[in-house]
Chains A and B, each alone.
Chain A
Amino acid sequence: MNSNKSKVILELRHLSKSFRSHWTFRHIPAVQDISLKVFEGEVFGFLGHNGAGKTTVIKTILGLISATKGEILFCGQSLKGPKQRSQIGYLPEEAYFYDHLTVRETMVLCATLCGLSGLTRSVKIAQTLNLLGLEKREQQSVRTLSKGLKQRLGLAQAVINEPSLLFLDEPFSGLDPIGRYEVRSIIKELHRKGTAVFISSHILSDIEDLCDRVAIMKQGHLIKTFALADFKSECSSEFILSLGSNNTADATRDVQSIGSKASTISEEKLSGAVRFTLHFITYEDARAALKEAMDSGLYIHSFERKSPNLEEVFIKTVSQ
């Protein structure tokens, strides 16, 4: 991934947002003291369980709701008025459109609101519809589009102004595997063109595939920010050796010897046979065990290296 991390495009400084209860007038904190930076051209993943405050942060940045405290900087300047939003694109959690408009009319509306007009607008609309594969559906009513196509149209309206920063709130929600793949490809294409993308999603495999850096939110707090490349190199892998035998008694004795340096050994009894799974922390221990297993005559089912994925890190982080 070709992220250019020299310049900060978005910076949140001690951002807080609380909502006031209608009945008790008590302030209910939704987001508390969030500080983070997004760099030019990077794909930034924003994770958290439901109600963690991800959408609140995005809406606050976009000015849909006001921050209680803190500062939002876009390209080094305070993001307050609508003017700077001409450089920002946004795809809401679900793409909401006017049912009475066609795909083209929707694009004309969005392009005009982004300040485009005349020939520039027509060219930009044509280019964007081509990029999103919607060129043949220009005259189709938005009402008749499938969920996947609506999501594409949502992306089209979000990128019509060629934003330098694009916010995607749950862009894969409700999409089938093909739809997800297509949206992922479009995000990669935008990233290749140098657009910074800020994605909030629950689908961690997609985040892992797309993002350069990730932040994890929990109950309104930002609890962890890390680069995926660092996390992959820092997190220790484990080695798993799976052995089998028809002679349960002998096999148990051999495995106790082979697995003397294993961190865990599990046993699974099958009909007339037994299978052992041994976990090793170091490669050297695992290799020695594998050699011993081959000499002992046990059947080797598999030998693999397993790295922790983002999902495991996420669950571990939010469970702490």
Chain B
Amino acid sequence: MKVIMIALNTFREALRNKILYSVLFFALAMIGVSALYASVSMGSQIKVVKDFGLFSLSFFGAIIAILAGVSLLNKEIKQKTIYNILSKPVSRWQFILGKQLGLTATVSLLVGAMGLCLMIFCAAMEGSVDWMILSGIFFAVMEVSIVASVTIFFSSMVVTVTLSGLFALGVYICGRSINQLDYFFTSQNHSNEITTAIISFFKYVLPDLSVFNVGDRIVDHQPIELMYYAHALGYSFFYSATIILLAVLIFEKREMV
């Protein structure tokens, strides 16, 4: 109950952040602009719009998660509202988990709204609803919940908002491209032992966000197996849980001076 209350409060607070709506508006505008770009490109116009739209769900979803999450803990400590929470019979893990759930709920709602706009936009262009976009929304939500957890992790550890944000963005970019880097260095004989070791280390530590990159399959209407959904859900859940556990361990030691 306490965790849900903290999550609800975080959700309400995050939804009041005007910057998020600016990002949401910008993302929707980008999807609209992609239609203009698609009209002068080769191939199917609708495929370009869907591909770009699904990428936008992931990218702008991550940006929203970082912008909303980066100041969550810092603001609580700076504005000292945390004193009212932690002086009550509330554990620090309950506080962090509540924050994570609230942030994930906020970002999921906004990603869902973006996804529905994309569906309506594509339906207007195609004349029929492409239900596969719902899968795109699902995978984007799984991805941004990891980004939200990573952002909370850095907020619990790093004192400045900017640094936390940059680290979280770095993890998102690396997580999206770590597979390509691994392939480039290990398969093409471009690496020495040190770079291979570094890449391997990051591959195990950073989230493999390529798991959620199913844009091509959705655009080409290739079926996605139920097991793959389960795998993505499980991966997102366990990675988020692990990173939140680390955040709790760090936050337990933090002094509320």
Contacts and interface: CB of A to CB of B under 8 A. Distances in A.
Chain B CB count within 10 A is highest, among A90, A109, A157, for A109
Interface in B1-51: 1-2, 5-6, 9, 12-13, 16
A203 interface: no
A117 B5 CA distance: 11
Contacts of B81: 96-98
Nearest to A108: B5
A65 B252 CA distance: 10
Q: How many interface residues does chain B have, given as a range? A: 20 to 34
Most buried by B among A85, A92, A113, A114: A113
Contacts of A49: none
A1 B231 CA distance: 66
Given A100-B16, A113-B2, A157-B84, A82 B9 contact: no
- Counting chain B CB atoms within 10 Å of each CB, the highest count among A85, A90, A98, A114 belongs to A98
Interface in B134-179: none
A85 B83 contact: no
Contacts of A81: 91
Interface centre among A64, A81, A114, A115 (most CB of B within 10 A): A64
A88 B90 CA distance: 12
B89 A114 contact: yes
Contacts of A90: 83-84, 87
Interface residues of A, number: 31
B256 A114 contact: no
Interface string B95-136: 000000000000000000000000000000000000000000
B85 interface: yes
B256 A64 contact: yes
A82 B256 contact: no
B10 to A, nearest CB: 10
Interface string A54-96: 0000010011111000000000000001111110101010101
B139 to A, nearest CB: 31
A143 to B, nearest CB: 11
Contacts of B91: 81-82
A237 B253 CA distance: 51
Given A100-B13, A117-B1, A110 B88 contact: yes
A72 B89 CA distance: 16
Given A59-B256, A65-B256, A100-B12, A109 B83 contact: no
B185 to A, nearest CB: 38
Interface in B164-217: none
B255 A113 contact: no
Contacts of B222: none
Contact of A64 (B1, B16, B83, B89): B83
Nearest to A115: B89
Interface string A257-281: 0000000000000000000000000
Contacts of A66: 253, 255
B221 interface: no
6 contacts: A65-B255, A85-B89, A92-B80, A98-B9, A109-B5, A112-B2
Kindly list the 5 A-B residue pairs having the minimum CB-CB distance in the complex, ordered from nearest.
A64-B256, A90-B87, A86-B89, A96-B80, A113-B88
Given A19-B255, A94-B80, 19 more contacts: A19-B257, A59-B257, A62-B86, A62-B87, A64-B83, A66-B253, A82-B88, A82-B90, A82-B91, A85-B87, A90-B84, A92-B83, A96-B79, A96-B80, A100-B12, A112-B5, A113-B6, A113-B88, A114-B88
